[in-house]
Amino acid sequence: LTREGGFGWKRYHTLDEIYAWLEYLGKQYPGQVRVVDGGRTYQGRPIKGVVLNFGRQTNGTERSTVFIEGGIHAREWISPATVTYIVNQFLTSEQPEVRRLAESYEWHIFPSFNPDGYVNTHNRNRLWRKTLSVNGFCRGADANRNWGYKWMSGGASNNPCSDTFAGRKAFSEIETRSMAEYIDTVGKKLYAYISFHSYSQLLLFPYGHTKAHLDNYDESLSIGKKTIAALARRYGTKYVTGNVAETIYVASGGSMDWVKAKYRVPIVFTYELRDTGDYGFLLPANQIIPNAEEVLDSLLAMFKEARVT
Ligand code: ING
Ligand code: ZN
């Protein structure tokens, strides 16, 4: 086994490989890594994550927890790959800035919010997006339209066969319901919530149901600009930042909007990772590492800029 436990970021991994690696980390770093179960999926799989805590948080405020969400959409493979890369860097990097970031917070990190869907993209349909619940003749709800804030108020479908089907009701999906319950256990401590999607090279912040500039819009925009500037520095990759509704489209029932509205978390962003459409969801595996490197650069800047409490 290498330092990463034989895992690596030269190819995309299956759910089983990701889960085996998380368990390996729990054994390898018993003082820093706790493997946690966020709940079960429709097909009975666990939603596994890790809690990283290096035991000397310097953030010093009530809000000393960061939540990272990956893979809520099954086909966006670069998302779980980026999230596992970040976990590995937090555990193994010797760069002072990375160490400082890792050790300043308690991290709750879930590489795949949609394990059934992810398995489906490996076994049957590479471009599957939704969960796999049965809804009449069609399967699955869009797990990023199913959260209970402004549910079904734009950019979501009531047709079970649509890729943006919002579900029969808010939190109809066991995946969103159980992850919301998990987030409730840390909600008041959250300093930041970061979610990873692909593709389009955007750094989005709330809200998706309205173009209005709500909560700490100005501050989010200013942090967003500095974050994408840092991202571009390494390889020149250009991102655009702004709220969801103005920057891509109106979309309601997303996880980050629910977290922002319920807990007034200061730093809430969704990355739309590489690329801008040449490969789209089928981003070649040789881009996993450069993509993740520039994202980690950008996170260092984001948390340096973020001085709100
Ligand atoms: N994009 C996101 C989607 O769910 C998004 C954009 C982010 C919408 C946050 C709402 C809230 O449509 C992709 N590519 O899935
Ligand atoms: Zn997505």
- Mind listing the pLDDT tens digit of every residue in the chain (309 residues)? 455 678 999 999 999 999 999 999 999 999 999 999 999 999 999 999 999 999 866 556 678 999 999 999 999 999 999 999 999 999 999 999 999 999 999 999 999 999 999 999 999 999 999 999 999 999 999 999 999 999 999 999 999 999 999 999 999 999 999 999 999 999 999 999 999 999 999 999 999 999 999 999 999 999 999 999 999 999 999 999 999 999 999 999 999 999 999 999 999 999 999 999 999 999 999 999 999 999 999 999 999 987 543
**DSSP reduced 3-state for 250:** coil
Q: For atom 15 of ligand 1, which residue has the closest CA?
A: 197
Which residues lie below 8 Å from residue 185, measured CB to CB, with a gap of 6+?
none
**DSSP reduced 3-state for 257:** helix
Q: Name the active-site residue from 23, 272, 293, 294.
A: 272
Contact of 105 with 66, CB cutoff 8 Å: yes
pLDDT (0 to 100) of residue 59: 58
Residue 272 is a catalytic residue: yes
C-alpha of residue 3 to centroid of ligand 1, in Å: 34
- Measured in degrees and rounded to the nearest 5, phi and psi for residue 103 equal -85, -5
The whole-angstrom separation of Cα 237 and Cα 170 is 36
CA 156 to chain centre: 20
C-alpha of residue 162 to centroid of ligand 2, in Å: 14
pLDDT (0 to 100) of residue 210: 98
The whole-angstrom separation of Cα 25 and Cα 87 is 10
- Ligand in closest contact with the CA of 202: 1
Contact of 208 with 176, CB cutoff 8 Å: no
> Which is it for the CA torsion 259, 209, 73, 140, positive or negative?
positive
What tokens does 45 get?
């799989």
291: alpha, beta or left? (left if phi > 0; alpha if psi -120 to 50): alpha
pLDDT (0 to 100) of residue 307: 57
Whether the predicted model's global pTM rises above the 0.90 cut: yes
Which mutation among 73, 78, 197 tests ligand 1's pocket best, with the greatest number of atoms within 8 A of CB?
197
pLDDT (0 to 100) of residue 305: 80
Q: What is the DSSP letter of 74?
A: T
Q: For atom 2 of ligand 1, which residue has the closest CA?
A: 197
The whole-angstrom separation of Cα 35 and Cα 16 is 14
Q: Do the interacting molecules here have an ipTM over 0.90?
A: yes
The whole-angstrom separation of Cα 114 and Cα 291 is 22
Short-list 203, 222, 215, CA closest to 260: 215
Residue 274, amino acid: R
pLDDT (0 to 100) of residue 309: 39
C-alpha of residue 246 to centroid of ligand 1, in Å: 12
Pocket of ligand 1 (CB under 6 A): 73, 144, 197, 204, 208, 244, 248, 251, 254, 256, 270, 272
Atom of ligand 1 nearest to the CA of 257: 11
**Which residue has tokens 């967003």?**
224
Which mutation among 130, 204, 240 tests ligand 1's pocket best, with the greatest number of atoms within 8 A of CB?
204
